[in-house]
Chains A and B, each alone.
Chain A
Amino acid sequence: MVAVSHIRFSVKKGEVFGLLGPNGAGKTTTMRMIECISPRSSGTLTVFGLDPDKNPAEIKQKIGVVPQDSNLDPDFSCGGNLLTYARYFDIPQDEAARRAESLLAFVALTEKRDVSVDKLSGGMKRRLILARALINNPDLLILDEPTIGLDPQARHLIWERLRQLRSEGRTIVLTTHYLDEAARLCDRLIIMDNGTFLAEGSPAELVQKYAGSEMVETDNTPEVVACLTDAGIPYEVAGDQIQVTSGDPRALAKTLLDRCRNSRVITRPATLEDVFLKLTGRALRE
């Protein structure tokens, strides 16, 4: 079974790189290949210039992984999770203890050191997983939906920490379904679907290229549709909304208001979400 094919991208040292796509697009599989876990049937992949088939342990020694599902070890406390994980990287005990302490502080969990992970809230678990991913002082951090299900406070804390990590020169690869998050964090990103590659660029470039600078939205009524068709203006239907991409939103809004006699017209900047929906469609995924 082929999960992904014909994808091609490279991540530069020190950048935040996003992998976006609907569920089943192949993001997790792509990340698992970089993590030296899933095998490739063909194609080339190098991580730190090494081949995951030949040097998995060397590569994994320098990677930190935040998985989508929590897989913290319920048999240990928060501190115990970090220390146990440190051993898998062959980190000496006293060094591991020092790192665990400073990482607990980094994710604001110092007072939970001796608490069982079962007792943590979702946001705390996510933060602890981030701390665990940093225990080996990784050059590359791979995050699969790092802020899934978090409240805004916790999301902002994670974002702030990720920016801090980038400023330390670490490379970050992440997936997310929150496109505002991707726009905010990523230097560059790719959008993929059905296991293949659709677009690549910085968030601003992609918005400019695929969605234009402004988006005009109005109600989806037969009159508006007839009027836009008459005027020869291309539009897109999004449920009960009509969306028109425009370089000159004011003129367009005026046209809509004057010619189509429509009272509700909204103009707003185009976003990455517009790009995403344009490229991957609106059909619901499994």
Chain B
Amino acid sequence: MTSVFSIPRVSRRAVMVWRRNLDVFCKTWKVNFFPPFVEALLYLSAIGLGIGTYVGAIDGIPYVTYIAPAILAISVMNSAFFECTYGSYVRMYYQKSFDAIIATPLSIEDVIAGELLWGATRSVISVAIMLPVLVAFGVVSLPFSLLAIPLAFVAGLLFAGIAMCFTAVTPGIDTLNYPAFLFITPMMLFSGTFFPLAVMPAALQYVALAFFPLTHLVSLMRMATLAAAGPLLLLNIVWILAATAVFWVIPINLMRRRLIV
């Protein structure tokens, strides 16, 4: 029995699974293109301009400019998380696609790695669609904001990995609602997204910094869109890279345990 921390043997064939998902995505690209575009517009107008009229500025930054990086970060989180929970679960359980693929030269490690890479790619696609909207609103600075794209990939991989852990242990598709509501929603609200961490009680700030990947992603995204390095730069980068590495390894082993009998 391999431990959840053993380094999985992933081959270049993982790309074939990634490519399968991309092909399906491209078949329905019009439907897929729309949500991030509309989401950016809705957030910016309702929260940024609507609530922003009352809030004015945070730390001297106009409110709509303050939340712009949070919109990107939340979309990175949601794209990868929902792709690798509900999306992967449907492919694994209902479509039995993983069973079909592991009868070919691909191993289960390749399949899960391909799914994780695809989850990260969904995050990149979302950010790439949203970024021009934010540029049009004049709330992000160029060219520095383009760093949001590589950042979306790394953080997307992290959220994909976390999602895949839940997918590997969930008894059914309904129970995937628990992480969505108990983990993703609180993170979306309390990670320095729509208001600074500093206004929260100290204990909650530590929780957000220690356990919420979104806290670190929002912080880095804000540095990118404002073109200004913050005091947490190094901590944010190290935290995300380390967590990404860990959550690359664990879900592959968990999935192997679930599917190989």
Contact = CB atoms under 8 A, between A and B. Distances in A.
Interface stretch (A8-16, A81-89, A212-220): A81-89
Contacts, number: 60
B107 interface: yes
Given A37-B103, A61-B105, A65-B103, A88 B16 contact: yes
Interface residues of A, number: 27
Interface string A199-213: 000000000000000
Given A37-B103, A71-B97, A57 B11 contact: yes
B147 to A, nearest CB: 33
Interface string B91-113: 00001110111111111000000
Interface in B20-40: 20, 23-24, 27
B258 interface: no
B13, B102, B107 — which one has the most chain A CB atoms within 10 A of its CB?
A: B102
Q: How large is the interface on B (under 10, 10 to 19, 20 to 34, 35 or more residues)?
A: 20 to 34
Contacts of A73: 20, 95, 97, 100
A87 B103 contact: no
Q: Which of A57, A73, A88, A90 has the most chain B CB atoms inside 10 A of its CB?
A: A88
A38 B97 CA distance: 17
Given A72-B100, A88-B105, A38 B260 contact: yes
B103 A35 contact: yes
A84 B204 CA distance: 48
Interface in A50-91: 56-58, 60-61, 63, 65, 67, 69-76, 84-85, 87-90
B82 to A, nearest CB: 17
A71 B16 contact: no
Contacts of A84: 20, 23
B203 interface: no
A90 B100 contact: no
Contacts of B19: 87
A88 B101 contact: yes
Contacts of A37: 102-103, 260
Nearest to B17: A88
Given A87-B19, A88-B16, A57 B105 contact: yes
B106 A88 contact: yes
A39 interface: yes
B105 A90 contact: yes
Given A35-B103, A60-B104, A65-B103, A88 B96 contact: no
Contacts of B20: 73, 84, 87
Contacts of B261: 38
Contacts of B27: 75
Interface string A120-161: 000000000000000010000000000000000000000000
A45 to B, nearest CB: 16
A87 B16 contact: yes
B104 A89 contact: yes
Nearest to A83: B23
Interface in B99-130: 99-107
Nearest to A64: B103
B115 to A, nearest CB: 14
B24 A67 contact: no
Contacts of B100: 67, 71-73, 85
A77 B100 CA distance: 16
B224 to A, nearest CB: 34
Contacts of A70: 96
Interface string B148-176: 00000000000000000000000000000
Contact of B103 (A39, A67, A69, A76): A67
Contact of A57 (B95, B96, B107): B107
Contact of B99 (A71, A87, A89, A136): A71
Most buried by A among B100, B107, B261: B100
A84 B20 CA distance: 7
Contact of A85 (B11, B95, B96, B104): B104
Interface string B32-65: 0000000000000000000000000000000000
29 contacts: A35-B103, A37-B260, A56-B107, A57-B11, A57-B13, A57-B105, A58-B105, A60-B104, A60-B105, A61-B105, A67-B100, A67-B103, A71-B100, A73-B20, A73-B97, A73-B100, A74-B95, A75-B95, A76-B23, A76-B24, A84-B20, A85-B100, A87-B16, A87-B19, A87-B20, A88-B13, A89-B104, A90-B13, A136-B104
Interface of A: 35, 37-39, 56-58, 60-61, 63, 65, 67, 69-76, 84-85, 87-90, 136
Interface of B: 11, 13, 16, 19-20, 23-24, 27, 95-97, 99-107, 260-261
